[in-house]
C-alpha cells in the first residue's frame, strides 16, 4: 500500500503508516502530482487542495485523510463519486480548541495582550486595563458538539451560566451538563459572552451578521475558534465601534491569513493566527488518529467517523462484529445468484434486531458489488452503485433467533431466488444456511458449493476429482433439502481457488446439479 503524505504529520502517525506499508512524503505540488498516480491513500492538512482533478489523477485512491477536523479543502462530492473515503481526526484537537477558547475569553476579559504590550513598552498603566470577571456571566454557545460541550464544562467551572443553540441536539442529551437549549434569538438576547463552535456550511455562513449582532445584549463579547465566515467581520467591526459589542476574541477569519483588516486596528479585539489546534498534544493526536483511520480504510473496515459515510459514529459492538460477515455473505449471494440480484433483503435476528441495519446493508452491498462490477466499491459508494443498478433493498428485523444469539440473513431475487445466512460463533464468521439447507461451516478463503442428487457416492465422486487436481479439502458440511426431496448440498472449504475449467469439470460429474466456487477476502 502506498500512502502519500502531502503535509507534515506527527512522528507517531508516520511510524504507524511506515509499519503498515510504503509512506511517501512530498513537500511540493509538483512532487504530489508525480506520486499520486499509484497512491492508495493521501494524507493532507489544510494547505493541500484535494479537488476533482487530483482525485481523478489517482485511480487507485481509496482514502483521503485530513490530519485535523476541517475538510474545507477537500471536494467531498468528487471523492464520494469516486468511492474514496474521506476521514479526519475529529477528536484530536477538541481539548486544545476548548482550552484556546477559554484562553481567548480570559485574554479579552482582562485585556492581557494590550497590558503585555504596554509592559514591554516600559509603561505601567494599571488603571487603564480594568477588566471584567467571567463568574456570574451568561455564556451562549452556538454549536454544542464535542468542543462546545468541553467549553460548557469549563465555563461552568468558572461560575458561568451556560445556554446554547444547537438545533441538532436533544435537550435530554445535554441535561447532565446543566445547559439550557434555547432558540438562536434567545441566546443572542441573553448572553454576556457568545462562543461559536459550528462548522462552516451554507446554513451557518454569515450566521452572525448585522441584524443578529444588533439583536444581541448590548456589551456582549464574541469568541470564535471554529471557522471563519460564520461572523460577518465588517458587521462585527461596526458593532464594536458603536458599542453594541464590547469586544471580540477571534482565532479564525473569513480569509486566511488575515493581513489587512479593520479588526487589526481595534484594541477591543484579541486576535490569534488560527491556533486552536496548535498544541503539541493535538498535533500528535491528529497525526496518529488520521493514520489509524487511513489504515482502517485501507483494510476495508467501516470507518464510522468518515465524512462521507452515512452511519452513526457510535456503532454498537454487536453490529461491528457482523460487518465482515455481512460483506462475505454479500459476495456469496452474488456468486450463487449468478449476478447482481434485482432485489435484496437484509434481515437481522436476535440480539442484532434493535440496532440500525444500515451499516450491515452497506457491508453486504460492498461485498456483492465488489465481485459484480469492475468499479472500485467502498462503504462510500456502495449504496449509490446499488441505486444505479436498480437493486431494491429491504430491511427487516426479527426479535427472536431460535438457534443463535444473533443471525444475519440475506435474500437475493434475480434470475433465481437465493438465501444465505450466517452468524459469529466464538469470534469466527460461520455460514449457517444456503438456500433452504441448514448447515454450519466457518467461512474460508476458498469454498465450493455443490448441489447434487441425494445418493450414495457423491462425496467420494467430488472428493476424488478434487484430489486428482491437487486440491485439499480441509472442512466440509452436508445437508438435505427441506423443500425438494432427493436433493442434497455439500459445502467444502478447500486450500485454493478452482479454475474455470476445474469448476466446469465438477459440474459435469454425475449427479451434480450445480456447483459454485466462492472466493472470499479473509
Residue recorded with cell 465601534: 241
Q: At what angle do helices 94-109 and 280-298 cross, to 10 degrees?
A: 150
Which residue ranges form the domains of the chain, and what is each CATH number? Answer: 2-91+281-298 (3.40.50.720), 94-271 (3.40.50.720), 317-519 (3.30.1330.90)
Q: What is the average per-residue pLDDT within 273-300?
A: 91
Q: For residue 143, what pLDDT is reported?
A: 96
**DSSP structure class, residue 87:** E
pLDDT band at 372 (very low <50, low <70, confident <90, very high): confident
pLDDT tens, 29-52? 889 989 999 999 999 988 899 999
The pLDDT score that the predictor gives to residue 415 is 77
Active-site entry in 256, 281, 388, 455:
256
Residues 122-132 have a mean pLDDT of: 95
Please tell me the predicted confidence (pLDDT) of residue 68: 84
Q: Is the pLDDT of residue 136 over 90?
A: yes
For 106-134, what is the mean pLDDT? 96
Residue 479 pLDDT: 87
* Model confidence, pTM: 0.68
Q: What is the mean pLDDT of residues 69-85?
A: 89
pLDDT tens digits, one per residue of 239-248: 999 999 999 9
* Active-site option among 274, 335, 361, 451: 274
Among candidates 138, 144, 196, which has minimal Cα distance to 175? 144
In three-state secondary structure terms, 9 is: coil
Over residues 127-150, mean pLDDT = 96
pLDDT at 173 over 80: no
Q: What is the pLDDT of residue 481?
A: 83
223 and 109 in contact (C-beta within 8 Å)? no
The question of whether 274 is a catalytic residue gets the answer: yes
What is the mean predicted confidence (pLDDT) over 263-289?
Answer: 94
DSSP helix/strand/coil, 397: strand
Q: How far is CA 309 from CA 83, 169, 296, 312, 402, in A?
A: 10, 20, 14, 9, 33
Indicate if the pLDDT at residue 195 is higher than 90: yes
Q: At residue 194, what are phi and psi to the nearest 5 degrees?
A: -125, 125
Q: How do residues 392-404 score in pLDDT, each as one tens digit?
A: 999 999 998 888 9
Give me the pLDDT at residue 241, please.
Answer: 97
pLDDT in tens, 101-118: 999 999 999 999 999 999
pLDDT higher than threshold 80 for residue 70? no
Catalytic residue among 66, 227, 335, 409: 227
Residue 476: the pLDDT is: 95
Calculate mean pLDDT across residues 402-412: 94
Partners of residue 86 on adjacent β-strands: 64
For residues 300 and 60, which has the higher predicted lDDT (pLDDT)?
60
Assess whether pLDDT exceeds 70 at residue 129.
yes
Q: Are 144 and 164 in contact (CB under 8 A)?
A: yes
| pLDDT average, residue stretch 309-318 | 80
pLDDT tier at 5, thresholds 50, 70, 90: very high
> Does the pLDDT value for residue 435 go beyond 70?
yes
Check residue 313 and give its pLDDT: 67
Are 117 and 100 contacting, i.e. CB atoms less than 8 angstroms apart?
no
Task: Identify whether 455 is a catalytic site residue.
Answer: no
Q: How confident is the model at residue 199 (pLDDT cuts 50, 70, 90)?
A: confident
Question: Average pLDDT, stretch 134-147?
Answer: 96
Q: Mean pLDDT of all residues in the chain?
A: 93
Per DSSP bridges, beta strands 41-44 and 63-66 are parallel
Cα–Cα distance, 360 to 394 (Å, whole number)? 12
pLDDT for 455 equals 93
| Mean pLDDT in residue range 148-159 | 97
pLDDT, average across residues 273-302: 90
Element (H or E) spanning 364, and its range?
Answer: helix 358-370
Catalytic site includes residue 100: no
Amino acid at each position: 500500500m502506498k500512502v502519500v503524505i502531502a503535509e507534515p504529520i506527527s512522528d507517531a502517525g508516520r511510524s504507524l503508516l511506515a509499519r503498515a506499508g510504503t509512506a511517501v512524503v512530498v513537500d511540493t505540488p509538483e512532487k504530489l502530482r508525480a506520486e499520486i498516480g499509484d497512491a492508495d491513500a493521501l494524507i493532507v492538512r489544510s494547505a493541500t487542495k484535494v479537488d476533482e482533478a487530483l482525485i481523478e489523477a489517482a485511480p487507485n485512491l481509496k482514502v483521503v485523510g485530513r490530519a485535523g477536523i476541517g475538510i474545507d479543502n477537500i471536494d467531498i462530492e468528487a471523492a464520494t463519486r469516486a468511492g474514496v473515503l474521506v476521514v479526519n481526526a475529529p477528536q484530536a484537537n477538541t481539548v486544545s480548541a476548548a482550552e484556546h477558547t477559554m484562553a481567548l475569553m480570559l485574554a479579552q476579559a482582562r485585556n492581557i495582550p494590550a497590558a503585555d504590550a504596554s509592559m514591554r513598552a516600559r509603561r505601567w498603566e494599571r488603571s487603564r486595563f480594568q477588566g471584567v470577571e467571567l463568574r456570574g456571566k451568561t455564556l451562549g454557545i452556538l454549536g454544542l458538539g464535542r468542543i462546545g460541550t468541553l467549553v460548557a464544562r469549563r465555563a461552568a467551572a468558572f461560575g458561568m451560566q451556560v445556554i446554547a443553540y444547537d438545533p441538532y441536539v436533544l435537550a435530554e442529551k445535554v441535561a447532565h451538563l446543566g445547559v439550557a437549549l434555547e432558540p438562536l434569538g434567545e441566546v443572542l438576547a441573553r448572553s454576556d459572552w457568545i462562543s461559536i463552535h459550528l462548522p462552516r456550511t451554507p446554513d451557518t455562513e454569515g450566521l452572525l451578521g448585522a441584524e443578529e449582532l444588533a439583536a444581541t445584549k448590548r456589551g456582549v463579547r464574541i469568541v470564535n475558534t471554529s471557522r471563519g465566515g460564520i461572523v460577518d467581520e465588517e458587521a462585527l467591526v461596526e458593532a464594536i465601534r458603536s458599542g453594541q459589542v464590547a469586544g471580540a476574541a477571534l482565532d479564525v477569519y473569513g480569509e486566511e491569513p488575515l493581513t489587512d483588516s479593520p479588526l487589526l486596528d481595534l484594541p477591543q479585539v484579541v486576535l490569534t493566527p488560527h491556533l486552536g489546534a496548535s498544541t503539541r498534544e493535538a498535533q500528535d493526536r491528529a497525526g496518529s488518529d488520521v493514520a489509524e483511520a487511513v489504515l482502517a480504510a485501507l483494510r476495508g473496515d467501516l470507518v464510522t467517523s468518515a465524512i462521507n459515510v452515512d452511519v452513526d459514529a457510535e456503532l454498537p459492538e454487536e453490529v461491528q462484529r457482523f460487518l465482515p460477515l455481512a460483506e462475505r455473505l454479500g459476495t456469496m449471494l452474488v456468486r450463487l445468484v449468478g449476478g447482481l440480484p434485482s432485489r435484496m433483503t437484509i434481515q437481522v435476528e436476535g440480539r442484532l434486531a434493535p440496532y440500525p441495519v444500515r451499516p450491515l446493508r452497506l457491508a453486504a452491498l460492498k461485498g456483492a458489488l465488489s465481485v459484480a462490477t469492475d468499479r472500485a466499491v467502498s462503504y462510500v459508494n456502495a449504496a449509490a452503485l446499488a441505486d444505479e443498478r436498480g437493486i431494491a433493498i429491504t430491511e427487516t428485523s426479527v426479535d427472536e433467533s431460535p438457534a443463535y444469539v444473533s443471525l444475519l440473513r440475506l435474500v437475493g431475487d434475480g434470475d433465481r431466488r437465493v438465501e444465505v445466512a450466517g452468524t459469529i460463533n466464538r469470534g469466527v464468521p460461520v455460514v449457517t444456511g444456503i438456500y433452504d439447507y441448514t448447515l454450519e461451516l466457518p467461512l474460508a478463503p476458498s469454498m465450493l458449493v455443490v448441489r447434487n442428487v441425494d445418493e450414495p457416492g457423491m462425496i467420494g465422486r467430488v472428493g476424488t476429482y478434487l484430489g486428482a487436481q491437487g486440491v485439499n479439502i480441509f472442512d466440509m458440511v452436508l445437508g438435505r433439502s427441506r423443500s425438494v426431496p432427493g436433493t442434497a448440498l455439500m459445502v467444502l472449504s478447500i486450500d485454493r481457488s478452482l479454475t474455470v475449467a476445474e469448476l466446469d469439470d465438477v459440474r459435469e460429474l454425475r449427479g451434480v446439479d450445480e456447483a459454485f466456487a466462492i472466493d472470499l477476502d479473509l
